[in-house]
Chains A and B, each alone.
Chain A
Amino acid sequence: KQEVTQIPAALSVPEGENLVLNCSFTDSAIYNLQWFRQDPGKGLTSLLLIQSSQREQTSGRLNASLDKSSGRSTLYIAASQPGDSATYLCAVLRSGGGADGLTFGKGTHLIIQP
């Protein structure tokens, strides 16, 4: 059974810092990995999608990397802003077997202090 772990569970940093959120998964047979952002009481916003054959993806101040063999992904946020405060979720899509659906980590709750 796939298990996804996100570390740290919570993080509070001053505005302007660069930071790294970590995600690990136990089964390397994944199709892709997706990072989401969730604001309190809201739905999920997709940030970045990395295919299993890719090493990294970038969007603005966000960079996500993937090391499938070691079961790890990181989300790098540059020059953090108070508006980045949210919960960040990592999820993997299983490869093959005719199945579907994501397996999620429990998230990193991020607070950026003004």
Chain B
Amino acid sequence: NAGVTQTPKFQVLKTGQSMTLQCAQDMNHEYMSWYRQDPGMGLRLIHYSVGAGITDQGEVPNGYNVSRSTTEDFPLRLLSAAPSQTSVYFCASRGQGGQPQHFGDGTRLSIL
């Protein structure tokens, strides 16, 4: 049972490039979410999904797009990367009710 899998683990981009951070879970969880972690700011919610086809914005959504076409996958897209998006990105999922959140190992992203 792999849990929550994030790819890639590391990525360096140039300003203006686009990329997609992948997140997949094999636990049939309805709820999935994306966070970024920055020094001094803690973890902040970017976008979340409460089921396939349903997404919504979190605290810091600007510059990011998401979609949820399947229960398993919740990709995060940067359309035009900016240095302010240099961060560590974590994906999480949980089941229905008060189930605990399960986190992936993170993607370390640097924008030059």
Chain B positions within 8 Å of A49 at CB level? 98, 100
B33 at the interface (CB under 8 A from A): yes
Number of chain B residues close to chain A: CB under 8 A: 25
B104 at the interface (CB under 8 A from A): yes
CB distance from B94 to the nearest CB of A (A): 8
Interface residues in B1-55 by Cβ distance below 8 A to A read 31, 33, 35, 40-45, 48-50
B31 touches A106 (CB 8 A): no
User: Assuming the A-B contacts A43-B90, A89-B43, are A101 and B104 also in contact, with contact meaning beta carbons closer than 8 angstroms in the complex?
Assistant: no
User: Assuming the A-B contacts A31-B98, A49-B98, are A100 and B103 also in contact, with contact meaning beta carbons closer than 8 angstroms in the complex?
Assistant: no
Please list the residues of chain B having a beta carbon within 8 angstroms of any beta carbon in chain A: 31, 33, 35, 40-45, 48-50, 56, 58, 90, 92, 94, 98, 100-106
User: Assuming the A-B contacts A44-B90, A105-B42, A106-B40, are A100 and B31 also in contact, with contact meaning beta carbons closer than 8 angstroms in the complex?
Assistant: yes
A43 touches B56 (CB 8 A): no
User: Assuming the A-B contacts A89-B43, A99-B48, A100-B31, are A34 and B100 also in contact, with contact meaning beta carbons closer than 8 angstroms in the complex?
Assistant: yes
**A91–B58 alpha-carbon span in the complex (Å):** 15
Interface residues in A70-107 by Cβ distance below 8 A to B read 89, 91, 93, 98-107
**A98–B40 alpha-carbon span in the complex (Å):** 29
User: Assuming the A-B contacts A43-B90, A44-B90, are A102 and B104 also in contact, with contact meaning beta carbons closer than 8 angstroms in the complex?
Assistant: no
Chain A positions within 8 Å of B31 at CB level? 100
CB distance from A99 to the nearest CB of B (A): 7
B40 touches A100 (CB 8 A): no
B104 touches A46 (CB 8 A): no
A61 at the interface (CB under 8 A from B): no
Q: Residue on B with the closest CB to A4?
A: B42
CB distance from A87 to the nearest CB of B (A): 10
**Which of A44, A103, A107 has the most C-beta atoms of chain B within 10 angstroms of its own C-beta?**
A44
Q: Residue on A with the closest CB to B47?
A: A101
Chain A positions within 8 Å of B35 at CB level? 101-102, 104
Q: Pick the residue among A42, A46, A51, A106 that contacts B101 (CB under 8 A).
A: A46
